Structure 1
Amino acid sequence: MTEHLPHRQIACLDMRSFYASCAAAMEGLDVMKVPIAIIGDIERKGGVVLAASPPLKKQFGIKTGMRLYEIPNDASIHLIEPKMQFFIDVSMELTKLLNRYVPKEAIHVYSIDESFVDFTGTEKLWGPLDDIIYRIQDELYRQFQLHSACGVGPNMLLAKLALDLEAKKTGVAYWTYEDVPKKLWPVSPLRNMWGVGRRMERTLEDMGIYSVGDLARTPLERLEKKFGVMGNQLYYHAHGIDYSTLGSVLIKGQISYGKGQTLLRDYIKMNEILTVLLEMCEDTAMRARLAGKKGRTVQLSFGYSKHALGGGFQRRKTLAEATNETLVIYHTCVELLETYHDGRPVRHISVTLTNLETEHGIQLDLFKPTNWKQQRIGHVMDELRLKYGSTAILRAVSITSGGTAYRRNKLIGGHYK
């Protein structure tokens, strides 16, 4: 029975090979005929392939995430560095195009190349929905040389699933609640279901759940007991049910604040590792302060270099009282580092603050009478960075050889402007 469920006309529109297509248009190339690789840092042999055109994937087997040194030395392959500001400008123009068909309130930009659009009621202006979508896709190609795919459903979730599981192969896909048993339940492995990562997949498999159909048939009480609120969401999403309104995230509620960074080189020296760690604690604490939140649990994750056989660790510590102070988070991370780090070269670091609560007051401590001053200093630093830029005020270690904050300020989305 679906009469009480949302029945809107939500489309999830995705630009195929967005970065490669934008770069191809900029260079006067045909993205569907020319092998193109977008390289994060073209000066480094280890530069990451951020995007690959269809011919590069088909002819040479080069995929996103591979490295520059893995690309054959072939004259037909075009290597292009990303121009992030240009990509952002194109994305904004795409949104303006959509705004010609629906009001701004009916558009939710999900990522630089993907948007949700609520077309409910627009048939009175533009005719049937399939005609509108065809017209928009045609305009996207004629104006921007961008190929697109579109999933349509009665809610955001089914629109997204229609896109990911069908439309990226066919161009357009329409899903209804009635399609869930035959189109969604057979999906396996579970990581192919939107919102399920590898770690969640392993946990579900340990419970004997291997497909979305298995998940849908699992008692709600069992999932809630294991995963809490997330278990409730898993159960209803497996049935294609989603009450999210356009503009809200599909997974409601910010449950953590954090910062992750893959380093440009292996970090071996402890003083350099600590420098990056402090910068990341600074970013994490600032995000929490700006949101008016504190957290009781600090999580530190290290990823080791592949030259040291990879691997890493992820450990956390829960504090006696919630905090959003940079140095409290930092000293907690240092404690975790000293306990679990085995000395191998580090290539990835992430810091996360979880177990959140509202920043509504200060716990008095006889041994830390100036605690409120540290809180105020943090907020003042945040205000300066917001007003004058993230490098307006830095800790001295950030300008040493191990620091990354100053360099990252020159990037957009992790890449040069």
Structure 2
Amino acid sequence: MKPLPNRKIACLDIRSFYASCAAAMEGLDVMEVPIAIVGDMERKGGVVLAASPPLKKQFGVTTGMRLYEIPDDPRIRLIEPKMQFYIDVSMELTKLLNRYVPKEAIHVYSIDESFIDFTGTEKLWGPLEALIFRIQDELYRQFELRSACGVGPNMLLSKLALDLEAKKTGIAHWTYEDVPKKLWPVAPLRKMWGIGKQVERTLEDMGVYSVGDLAHTPLENLEKKFGVMGNQLYYHAHGIDYSDLGSVLIEGQVSYGKGQTLLRDYTTTDEILAVMLEMCEDTAMRARLAKKKGRTITLSFGYSKHVLGGGFNRQKTLSEATNETMAIYRVCLGLFETFHDGRPVRHMSVNLSNLEEQDSFQLSLFEPMNGKQQKIGQVMDEIRMKYGSAAILRAVSVTPGGTAYRRNQLIGGHYK
């Protein structure tokens, strides 16, 4: 095994970023005032994008809840998101970091989280922990933003130090020696960064319930089950990560998909199929951009709570892998016709898994048609990448049931 990375990587997270930005804009204290950032206040089903700590503690309102679930209390401040403002603030934060390290040492992971390589900065700025405290102090004085920071010898351990410790303490520094004591006890597995519900279920079926269990699972068993991702899961359970700053920490993505909670109950077949086609389009595009195809297509429906909820999750595996929109849609249509019982739909998702490289192929009687459809999809992808997601849409997206046109008028799914 090659030598373990031993750099000084920090993962910096701005606490309650959206709520803090909104509070600063309104002259409020995010730690004192119950604030909800609501995606669309014109709709009762508008989603709570962020909630300040007092709103969570005093009223039990959390991210993902709906506008109609927020108590009617005069102390609660409801604020619509200003996405361009949040982006501007995020860029200013990056400029602040750039005063201490070069741009090449900063990887903006999301609007409120960045990885920074502080290796070698001691000669300029002194001890790393003191420098991080200094940066956190500047963030608060200049922007009224509180932060947490995890530090480790690689990107993975810095992220785990952040998520599992620093978000409670403000700062945490993990080493390889800390892994057995701090990482291995972590359970359920989805608490481990990079492990989602699908992978967690598969691991549990193998008798793996904690990160320690994962670390002691034979590597060959994981590789047989997950392929290249099994190798990464094994080494990540030992805190080992060889990726460079800015690269993908979890490679070998096992699926591509799109899920959506609808703003109202969808009752007619035409409306439901319009959204289903949009999600097949989105799923196929993600796979094509990653140069992947998949053989297993999964359709999930969640029914309205007005009919006591429930739903279904069904899949079909094809003899040939695909990343073509209409091929995925035809499978979903078959699943819809077989398993949908007619109740109002409130949530829907489409997923493509069992992946292989796009350039792999299998001889087929239908290959000429498949090639034509693939070219159409690639051209549509190129148009969207160059001119924006709304540059070319299917006709269903401008019908009453379609959602893509409206979503593409927003930044990050929300108003500018």
TM-score calculated relative to the size of structure 1: 0.91
Supply the RMSD in Å over aligned alpha carbons.
Answer: 2.5
Residue type at the aligned position of 1:145: E
Residue type at the aligned position of 2:396: V
* 1:145 counterpart = 2:144: yes
Match of 2:339 in 1: 340
Mapped partners of 2:370, 2:236: distance in 1: 44
Map Cα deviations across residues 179-204 of structure 1 (whole Å, 9 max, x no partner). Answer: 11222222233332222334444444
Residue type at the aligned position of 1:143: Q
Map Cα deviations across residues 5-43 of structure 1 (whole Å, 9 max, x no partner). Answer: 111101010000101001001111111121111112222
Aligned partner of residue 391 in structure 2, secondary structure: coil
Match of 1:14 in 2: 13
Match of 1:304 in 2: 303
Mapped partners of 2:8, 2:299: distance in 1: 42
Question: Structure 1 286/192 Cα, relative in aligned 2: closer, same or farther at 3 Å?
Answer: closer
* 1:315 counterpart = 2:309: no
Give the count of matched residue pairs. 416
Residue type at the aligned position of 2:173: Y
Question: Structure 1 274/29 Cα, relative in aligned 2: closer, same or farther at 3 Å?
Answer: same
- Offset at residue 371 of structure 1 (A): 4.5
Mapped partners of 1:292, 1:218: distance in 2: 31
Match of 2:414 in 1: 415
Map Cα deviations across residues 29-76 of structure 1 (whole Å, 9 max, x no partner). Answer: 111121111112222333222211112222222222223233222222
* 1:157 counterpart = 2:156: yes
Mapped partners of 2:179, 2:164: distance in 1: 12
Question: Structure 1 30/376 Cα, relative in aligned 2: closer, same or farther at 3 Å?
Answer: same
Mapped partners of 1:380, 1:242: distance in 2: 37
Map Cα deviations across residues 246-292 of structure 1 (whole Å, 9 max, x no partner). Answer: 11122113443332222111112111111111112222233333444
* 1:271 counterpart = 2:265: no
* C-alpha contact 1:39 1:47 (8 A) present in aligned 2: yes
Residue type at the aligned position of 2:374: Q
* C-alpha contact 2:229 2:252 (8 A) present in aligned 1: no
Structure 1 residues not aligned, in runs of 5+ = none
Question: Structure 1 331/379 Cα, relative in aligned 2: closer, same or farther at 3 Å?
Answer: same
Question: Structure 1 332/25 Cα, relative in aligned 2: closer, same or farther at 3 Å?
Answer: same
Mapped partners of 2:361, 2:203: distance in 1: 40
Match of 2:66 in 1: 67
Aligned partner of residue 391 in structure 1, secondary structure: helix
* C-alpha contact 2:11 2:162 (8 A) present in aligned 1: yes
Mapped partners of 2:290, 2:208: distance in 1: 37
Map Cα deviations across residues 208-262 of structure 1 (whole Å, 9 max, x no partner). Answer: 4433333333333444444444333333222212222211122113443332222
Mapped partners of 1:156, 1:48: distance in 2: 32
Question: Structure 1 325/210 Cα, relative in aligned 2: closer, same or farther at 3 Å?
Answer: closer
Question: Structure 1 17/371 Cα, relative in aligned 2: closer, same or farther at 3 Å?
Answer: closer
* C-alpha contact 1:362 1:372 (8 A) present in aligned 2: no
- Offset at residue 140 of structure 1 (A): 0.9
Match of 1:50 in 2: 49
- Offset at residue 90 of structure 1 (A): 1.3
- Offset at residue 368 of structure 1 (A): 6.8
Mapped partners of 2:407, 2:413: distance in 1: 7
Mapped partners of 1:390, 1:61: distance in 2: 36
* C-alpha contact 2:303 2:344 (8 A) present in aligned 1: yes
More deviation in 116-125 or 306-315? 306-315
Question: Structure 1 364/416 Cα, relative in aligned 2: closer, same or farther at 3 Å?
Answer: same
Question: Structure 1 175/64 Cα, relative in aligned 2: closer, same or farther at 3 Å?
Answer: same
Structure 2 residues not aligned, in runs of 5+ = none
Mapped partners of 1:370, 1:199: distance in 2: 33
Map Cα deviations across residues 153-203 of structure 1 (whole Å, 9 max, x no partner). Answer: 111111111111111111111111111122222223333222233444444
Mapped partners of 1:153, 1:226: distance in 2: 29
Mapped partners of 2:348, 2:366: distance in 1: 32
Question: Structure 1 271/23 Cα, relative in aligned 2: closer, same or farther at 3 Å?
Answer: same
Aligned partner of residue 416 in structure 1, secondary structure: coil
Map Cα deviations across residues 116-158 of structure 1 (whole Å, 9 max, x no partner). Answer: 1111111122221112111111111111110000000111111
Residue type at the aligned position of 1:104: K
More deviation in 82-91 or 358-367? 358-367
Residue type at the aligned position of 2:81: P
The runs of at least 4 consecutive aligned structure 1 residues that moved more than 6 Å come to 361-364
Mapped partners of 1:208, 1:183: distance in 2: 21
Mapped partners of 1:26, 1:410: distance in 2: 24
Match of 1:191 in 2: 190
Match of 1:375 in 2: 374
- Offset at residue 373 of structure 1 (A): 3.5
* C-alpha contact 2:314 2:335 (8 A) present in aligned 1: yes
Match of 1:36 in 2: 35
Match of 1:236 in 2: 235
Match of 2:128 in 1: 129
Match of 1:351 in 2: 350
Residue type at the aligned position of 2:6: H
Question: Structure 1 97/402 Cα, relative in aligned 2: closer, same or farther at 3 Å?
Answer: same
Mapped partners of 1:189, 1:292: distance in 2: 32
* C-alpha contact 1:302 1:346 (8 A) present in aligned 2: yes
